[in-house]
Structures are given as C-alpha cells and as structure tokens.
Structure 1
Amino acid sequence: MNPSVSIRLLWGTLLCVLLVRLGTLGLYPLMDTSEARYAEIARKMLASNDWITPMFDHYVPFWGKPPLSFWAQALSMKVFGIHEFSSRFSSWLLHAASCLLIVRFASQERSLQVGLTAAIIYSTCTLGFLSSGAVLTDGALVFALLLAHFGLWRGLMHGDRGWALAGFLGLGLGLLAKGPLALVLIAMPAAIWLAVTAHWRRLLELPWLSGSALTLGVALPWYWLAEQKTPGFLEYFIVGEHLSRYAISQWQGDLYGSAHAQPLGMIWLHLLGGLLPWALFLPLLIKLRGHLEDQPEYFIFVLGWAVSAPLFFTMSTNILWTYVLPALPAWALLLADVICRNIRGTVIAAIALVLPVVGCGLIISGKASDRPQNQKNIVGLWKAQQASAPGDLIYLGARSYAAEFYSAGWARNYKTPQQFHLAEPFYLVQRMDKLQPLPFTCHTVGQANGSQLQYCRDGQL
C-alpha cells in the first residue's frame, strides 16, 4: 500500500461505514425478541425513574443483566425521545468508541494502517456490523473489555500507570455490563500471555491496590443496592446466569427466556459466521509466524485475547452467537496485520462496503420491516382507533416486547381466550398463522406483518 493514499482511504472508509450505520438507526422498526425486549426494559427504566433495578415487566425485576447498557439506552431516550434511533444510539456510540480504542491500540504497537484496518474489519464483519446498531447488552461489554485489555497491555509492557488504571476502570464497567464474565474474559488472555512469556514480575508491578479499589468503586455499589432492593438477585445472577446457564444445556431456571441448546464447540462456527466476510482471509494468519519473531509479546497477547471467549464457551451448549463479540476486536487486529501486507487498500474498502450497501438496500426495499416480529404497524392501527373507539391492546399467545415498546407499555398478552375477563371493549392481536377460535364477538380492524387486529366488544366469559 501507498501509506499517504491508504491512510486517507482507510479513514474515509471507516467514517463512511460508521455514518451509514448512524444514519440508518431509525429507519427500521425494533424486532423481537432481544432487541425489543432490551429497548422496553430501558423504556420502563426511564418511565419509572428506577435506575437501580431494570424491570422485565410491571413490578417484575430483570435479574438477567446488569444495568450499564440499560442506563445508556434510557439516557439516550431521555435526550432524543423514545423511538428506534434513541434505542440504538448508545450501541452505535459504544461501537464508535471501541473503534477509536482499536485504532489507538494498534497504532501504538503496530501502525496506523493496521489500526484503521482493524476498526474497519470489526465494523463490517457480520456480527460487528449488526451489533453496532442493535439494542443489545454486548456492545457495552466489548467497550469495557477493550479498555481493560488496552490498559492491561500498557501496564504490563510499558509500565504505564495511567492506562493500567484505565484498564481497572474497564473491568469495573465490564462488571456493570455483563457481570463476573468480564473477570474471566480478561483473566484468560492474561494467564495465556504470562504462561508463554514468563513475565510474572510485570504482573506484580501493576497498581493492584488502587486499581482494585477503582474496579470495586465502580461496580460494587450497584450490586449492593440491587440486592437490597430485590433480595435474591445475587443468587440468581451469580449462580444461575454464570454457572447453570453454561453448564446445563436445558437449564430450566431461566426466568426471562429459554435455553439455547447447541452442539459442543458450536461457538467456533458462530465465530466464523460473525467474522464473515473477513473470515475468508483467516488462512492468511499463517503468515503471522514471521511476525512472531518481530514482536512476540504483542501477538501472543492478542492471540490469547482472540481465543479466550471461544475457548471458554467451547464446552457450553447453551450459547448465542453474540457471545463471540468480545473476541472480534482481537481477531480484527490479527487479520488487519496480514491484510495490510497482502491486500490493496481499494479491495479492503470494497469489501468493507458490502454489508452497508446490502443493509441500505434491505431498508429501502422494505425487507428489513417485513417480519412478523415487527409490531409497529399494528400498534399504529390500534392508536388510530383510540379517539373514536378506545380500548386496551391485548395479544393472544406469545408476549410481544415490540408491541409493549410502541404502545408505551399498554400492550398485554394472554395465552388462551379462556383467560379473558374484560367487560370493556378491547383490541385483540393474533398471528394470522396461529388464529384461535374466540368465544366473544370481534370484527377485524386491519392487518400488518402477518398479524390481525380485531375490535372485541364482549370479553366476559
């Protein structure tokens, strides 16, 4: 590559990808289940002004995740209003901040070219691109762990006390983003690096006392307040979410979802899928053998970081593909090092723009909104009827978090018609492919996304 040209091209490509993602955040509706569920939890947090306990339902605490991502989403809603853009903006902002950390990390240890290319790879691989504009909790964990890894590396290799403390700050944020998993995902690459390099003395030189105080000062107050407010939280969160969930394939203790039983080792296939299209360049990593002699400590550290999350989840069958997200920045750093030496800058830019172009095409064509999980249009029909014929919004069958979000919490659900005991008229939503016979009088108001809205005058059984 010609450095004077490639740097401008790489900066332009990265900014283009980030701005395209930012500009499309509000152009398609929230989808079930995870995205709409987390957006609704954040909306409830803002509406209730309860910043300690995220709420799964009215008066039902959500013990499945710490609140960092919900705080960010709720604050965004407070600033911009309650809609799709504000729900997703914090994810984009955390992603952009993560890109800056990636660029800074690689620029100091390798080159600006490698840093920009790594940020581009992270932003345009399948999982990185999707998560940068989705309402998820994983983006907060990625940013926290990036800060923790960067700080750990600077502290170990350069004796940089300031960055080492920043690493401890990142660890505290990780505890607020995902919980004790953050400790595991920072300890594993550190242990691998120390075992290979034998630089154990450097570990002792880290500011453990002040750093640990910083980590605990950031995270511990919320954990204490959460347990005091809803006793039982710590037992469920620590034992259930961090032991039973991963050790038991059909764990029945999940209060908020269902088990995701998958074959052992499936996490590695999720990693390949999450890295596409850049996973096609993984064979080039064999060329890193020559660079190991040039800067072995750096590559051992990044390689340990890259494999830690997949290794941790290898023996777990209850997994999601988002679990590999914390490893993607490390894989992006490794790939960037070899891609910069073997691929032209124009090719990198062309590959990087594939997903943004396809995503924009799906949005323009309406395909991104043409899903049965999209309940924005149905809720819009319900709202349009309220002036002339007011009534509650009831879903028959599965709960719809998207409907709750778009109806500001008014949507409710019943499993069967026999559960209805409503004397006042109401609106009923059913999936067209799962219609149930009704023992009361209704007429159809409209249809959208495979769902039917009916106005029912007598729900008294």
Structure 2
Amino acid sequence: MSQLNKNNLLPLESPKVLWAVAISFLCIWFYMLGARTLVPTDEGRYAEMAREMLATGDWITLRLNGIKYFEKPPLQNWMNALTFAAFGLGDWQARLWTGLCGLIGVFSVAYTGRRLFGARTGTIAAIVLGSSFYWAGMGHVNSLDMGLSGMLAITMCGLLLGQDESASPAARRNAMLICWAGMALATMSKGLIGFVLPGAVLVIYTLVTRDWRLWARLYFGRGLILFFAITAPWFILIALRNPEHPHFFFIHEHFQRFTSDVHHRSGVWYYFFPFLILGIVPWIGLLVQGMWTGVKEQQKGFKPLLMLLIWAVFFFFFFSISHSKLPGYILPIFPALALMIAVYLESAKPNALKLAAGLLGLLGVVGLFSVNKIAHMGKDAIDIPLYANAAPWIAAASAIALAGALVAWFFAGREKVGKDIAILSLAFGGFLAGQVAFLGHNPFGQYIAGTAHVAAINAELTSPTTPIYAVGRYEQALPFYLQRTVTLVEFPDEMEFGLQQQPELWIPTRAGFVKKWLAHQANHEHAVAIVRTDIFEEFQKQHVPMRVIGQDPRRVIIATPVPSQ
C-alpha cells in the first residue's frame, strides 16, 4: 500500500496536491483573460463604456459611444474603469473584473461547502464549478452575466451560512450581512433581479418547508441599511442629473423587458436546456443525481440542499418564461448545481463517475470525428481559412476531453484514491478542453470585431478631431480599439433612447451623411466611415467620392479621397 494511503491522505485532502491544482488552474485562468480579442457585442460595449467613463471623468451618467446609455447599473463599468486606470487599456484588463467574479464564485462555494458539508465537499464544489464549461467560459467574457453571477454566488452562500443552525449568532449575523451586500452588488451589476430573485427563492423555500423561523434570522434592519447604503447613492444621483433615467430603467428595462418582446430576444420554452447541458460539462452525467440530493434531503431544521435546488430550478424557470432570453441568463444557477453535485459525489458509486467520464469521452469522440467537416465549413474567402484554422484547435480540445475521460474511467472504481484522481481528471479534461476551444475561436472573434482594420483606420486619423462615421451599422469593439467614438448614421442600434435625448449626436439619414461627406471632401478634410456593404454598393452607384482602405464581407471602411496634387 502506498504511503499516501498509509497516512489516509487522499489527493483531495493533500495540501500539496490542492496547491498544485490551484496554482495550475489560476495560471491558466489569468492567462486566458488576455488570450483573445474582445468579441462584440457585450465585450466591446462594456470595455468602451468603461473607457469613456475614465476619459470623461463622469462616473454617474453612463454613456456608450458618447450617448446616454441607461440599460444597466454601473458596477461593471466602475470596475473596468478602475482596472484601466491602474493597468492601462487592453483585453485582459477589460476581462479582469469578470475573471475575478468567476473566482469569487469558486471561492464562495468552496468555503460554503466546507462549512456546511465538510472540507472534501467544499473542495469538490470548487473543482466542479471552476471546471464547468459555462462558468469557466463566461469568466473570460466581458459581459454582465458573470459579474451578476459572482455577486449572486455571494448572496446565495451568505444566505446558506446565515441560516446554519450550528453556527454562532455572530457568525450567522455576519453571513447574512454578506448576503445583503451581495444582493446590493448584484443589483448594482444588473438591476432589480439582484434582490427580487433571491427574495423569491426565500419565499418559495418558506412555503415548501413551512419554516417561518428563517425570517427571524435575516437581520432585516441592518441588512436593509447596508443594501441601501450601497445602492441608493448612485440611483439618486443619476436621477437628479438625468430625470429620464428612472422610467427607462425601471419600467422599460425591467417590466417591459420581462413581459414583452421589446428587445426581440424571445425564444422557445426549452431555449436554455441546451445551454444547461453544454454548460455543466464535464459533469453532465452527475447533474440529475446532484439535484436529486435536494429532493431527498432529510435534515431537520434548515435544509441547505433544498434551498440550492429551489435556487437553481426557480432561476431556470424564471428566465425560461421571460420574453427576453440570452444564453448567459442562467449562469447564476451553476454555483448551486456545483454544491449539489459535490454533495452527491462524496457518496457516489464508481458507476456514477464512469457515466460522467463516458459522456465526456463521447463528446471528445464526436469532436474528433467532426474535425474534417469543421475544416470545410467555410463558404467564402473569409470563412474558409477561419474554419480551417479552428479545426486543429477543436481536434486538440476533443483529444484532451477524451484523454481526461479515459483516465477518469480507469481510476473511477479504484477505491478512494482512484475516485479523487477520477474527479481531477474529469475536471482538468473538461476545463482544458474548453479553454483550448476558446483559443480556436479567436480568429472568428477578430473578424467579428474588425480588428484587422485598426491600423488602416488609425493611419487616416490625422488629428484627434478627425471624424469617424458608422453608416448603417455600429461596431461594438472598434471604438475601444481605436479609442475614439463614432458618429452614427441612419442606424441607432441600442442607443435609440439616448439619441432621443441627444439627437444632435447622430445623422438620422443616409442623405444627410452624403451631404456631410461631400463637405469634408470640398474642404480637404480627412474623414473615415465604416459602411454596411449594401450601402457601400449604393454609394458606388451614386458616384460618392470615396477611397476604400479596408473591406471584408461584414463591412467596408472608406476615407475621403486624397486631394489631387
């Protein structure tokens, strides 16, 4: 018998093993923050909003492209702007806050699992969440979904610890204050759902269990003071400076967004199921069993597993019935799923891990057999090399997933040491496969963002006042990389409300742009325009004077003609 077994020190209990796992994980996690171009729409949008906030010094009124933009609260913009102030502009800087929020979620489930269910369960919960495809992926995307999810993880874990009947009154009080702070920060991340959804979970749990004592342990007085101390100042200040903000934010962006298709983001009732299945990889084979632990929980008094189950199911249901659906909306359920899966794994039989390994291996095999088809999916001069370049990355990701699955299958039935090795193999197989696949997507991201044209556009910007126009389209990432706002033409995009308040900031018609463009030419002024391809063709028919400096199937970049010598 090995020395490891003689000392009864399993891999997931060994400080050396855990430090090695943690350091390896963090190195990859932080490296990947800057490994890819910012991809529109979310990544470019929130990077640019923070850049403008830092450049203007206005930390109250949010703007996108210099136009009032009131769809969301400011927390992520604040954090990104502070990051830019400390470290400069860049890809990893724009993702640092979401990366940290992902790690906050991992740490929260680790600490909570340790306190409520034991040290090993806390460790496994962190491993499950950190390696889940969706959590690891969205932790490297500059969007509001991970910022919200990280704050809701604090909320959920604070609530669980605040109701732990074995803890001291002081510990429960402190945990509940953390819960209230988490709700406040979630509200400052994405709006009223930051406290409405956790509140609904609390109500549903109470109705199911008939445990009304829980309400006496919420510390309402101190909690509400803390909540409003964090949230109220900004909401008051922005309303004073912008009287139009409260109606747009509270009515349009919350009530109308949920009850109507005002944002044209509706979807079928099963919209989120594929994202759930893909998102929990490599643990999909343990998802149902993990959730079942909440159903069969027999613990007297407060039932943390049942609350986790209600959290996951209600959040999933809420966004499924909403008329506004985007893939990232269900991200807040993954910390709850990770804790339930971790509890199940502690008592799981070898066949459960073999099922998880088999499904991950199957995914790897499907990926390997699809590589040749992926390499030939391109249909035009731009797509063909992009898909061809992605194919080797998909092959590598599939091979990593298959290798992790095979190792996990081999060790799954080999007593406790083998079980721990199987868990680690599944985790690293899934995590590394996902990160490699993201790297393979980067050329697509660069194309979508239009970064290949940055050098050509910068060469035309002979002064800080050289105008840039966006005709028929708005580029969400290019303004950040150019460090310049653009003048919208004809197409207001998501800035329609802001332009109603500031109509002088855009050109509503194509004819108005042509008139302005001809004036630039007549005055020998440099100007640049990013034009939708069909509009460019129309300009050619109209013989609008222009010089093409960049072109791809998504856009044409033109400049005013060089004056003849």
TM-score normalized by structure 2? 0.73
Question: What secondary structure does 2:537 align onto?
Answer: coil
Partner of 1:278: 283
Partner of 2:91: 84
| 2:532–2:555 CA contact under 8 A, matched in 1 | yes
Deviation at 1:399, TM superposition (A): 0.2
Question: What secondary structure does 1:65 align onto?
Answer: coil
The separation in 2 between residues aligned to 1:197 and 1:122, in whole angstroms, is: 28
- Structure 1 residues 447 and 116: CA distance shift in structure 2, 3 A: farther
One-letter amino acid of the structure 2 residue matched with residue 136 of structure 1: S
Partner of 1:453: 557
The separation in 1 between residues aligned to 2:295 and 2:470, in whole angstroms, is: 61
* Residue 54 (structure 1) aligned with residue 155 (structure 2): no
- Structure 1 residues 436 and 112: CA distance shift in structure 2, 3 A: farther
| 1:370–1:449 CA contact under 8 A, matched in 2 | no
Question: What secondary structure does 1:277 align onto?
Answer: coil
The separation in 2 between residues aligned to 1:260 and 1:451, in whole angstroms, is: 24
The separation in 2 between residues aligned to 1:127 and 1:360, in whole angstroms, is: 11
> Where in structure 2 are the equivalents of 1:91-110 lying within 5 Å?
91-110=98-117
The separation in 2 between residues aligned to 1:290 and 1:52, in whole angstroms, is: 45
| 1:265–1:315 CA contact under 8 A, matched in 2 | no
| 1:271–1:321 CA contact under 8 A, matched in 2 | no
Deviation at 1:245, TM superposition (A): 0.5
- Structure 1 residues 440 and 236: CA distance shift in structure 2, 3 A: same
Structure 1 outlier segments of 4+, above 6 Å: none
| 2:62–2:74 CA contact under 8 A, matched in 1 | yes
Partner of 1:4: 10
Partner of 2:333: 327
Total equivalences in the alignment: 451
One-letter amino acid of the structure 1 residue matched with residue 114 of structure 2: S
Higher gyration radius (CA)? 2
> Where in structure 2 are the equivalents of 1:181-260 lying within 5 Å?
181-249=193-261, 251=262, 258-260=263-265
Deviation at 1:458, TM superposition (A): 8.2
* Residue 313 (structure 1) aligned with residue 306 (structure 2): no
Q: Percent identity?
A: 23
Deviation at 1:69, TM superposition (A): 1.1
Deviation at 1:70, TM superposition (A): 1.0
Question: What secondary structure does 1:401 align onto?
Answer: coil
* Residue 426 (structure 1) aligned with residue 527 (structure 2): yes
Partner of 2:119: 112
The separation in 2 between residues aligned to 1:134 and 1:177, in whole angstroms, is: 15
Partner of 2:45: 37
Instruction: Decide which structure has greater helix share.
Output: 2
* Residue 339 (structure 1) aligned with residue 345 (structure 2): yes
- Structure 1 residues 428 and 235: CA distance shift in structure 2, 3 A: closer
The separation in 2 between residues aligned to 1:345 and 1:432, in whole angstroms, is: 55
One-letter amino acid of the structure 1 residue matched with residue 307 of structure 2: F
Question: What secondary structure does 1:293 align onto?
Answer: coil
- Structure 1 residues 429 and 112: CA distance shift in structure 2, 3 A: same
The separation in 2 between residues aligned to 1:361 and 1:157, in whole angstroms, is: 40
Partner of 1:255: none
The separation in 1 between residues aligned to 2:291 and 2:264, in whole angstroms, is: 37
1:326-345 CA deviation, whole Å, 9 max, x = no partner?
11100111112223443333
Select the residue among 10, 26, 29 that pairs with 1:21. 29
The separation in 1 between residues aligned to 2:284 and 2:534, in whole angstroms, is: 38
Of the structure 1 ranges 190-199 and 66-75, higher mean CA displacement relative to structure 2 is found in 190-199
- Structure 1 residues 98 and 367: CA distance shift in structure 2, 3 A: closer
| 1:119–1:332 CA contact under 8 A, matched in 2 | yes
| 1:43–1:74 CA contact under 8 A, matched in 2 | yes
* Residue 167 (structure 1) aligned with residue 179 (structure 2): yes
> Where in structure 2 are the equivalents of 1:370-409 lying within 5 Å?
371-386=446-461, 391-409=466-484
Question: What secondary structure does 2:538 align onto?
Answer: coil
Deviation at 1:43, TM superposition (A): 1.0
Question: What secondary structure does 1:429 align onto?
Answer: strand
One-letter amino acid of the structure 2 residue matched with residue 380 of structure 1: A
Partner of 1:254: none
* Residue 352 (structure 1) aligned with residue 392 (structure 2): no
- Structure 1 residues 260 and 433: CA distance shift in structure 2, 3 A: same
Of the structure 1 ranges 339-348 and 126-135, higher mean CA displacement relative to structure 2 is found in 339-348
| 1:106–1:114 CA contact under 8 A, matched in 2 | yes
| 2:45–2:476 CA contact under 8 A, matched in 1 | yes
The separation in 1 between residues aligned to 2:322 and 2:207, in whole angstroms, is: 25
The separation in 2 between residues aligned to 1:117 and 1:434, in whole angstroms, is: 55
Question: What secondary structure does 2:265 align onto?
Answer: coil
- Structure 1 residues 246 and 265: CA distance shift in structure 2, 3 A: farther
1:302-336 CA deviation, whole Å, 9 max, x = no partner?
11111121122232232112111111100111112
The separation in 2 between residues aligned to 1:286 and 1:232, in whole angstroms, is: 44
The separation in 2 between residues aligned to 1:141 and 1:387, in whole angstroms, is: 41
Higher relative contact order (CA 8 A, sep 6+): 1
Question: What secondary structure does 1:444 align onto?
Answer: strand
Structure 2 residue runs of 5 or longer lacking an equivalent are 354-418, 491-508
| 2:291–2:340 CA contact under 8 A, matched in 1 | no
Select the residue among 142, 145, 154 that pairs with 1:135. 142
Of the structure 1 ranges 281-290 and 227-236, higher mean CA displacement relative to structure 2 is found in 281-290
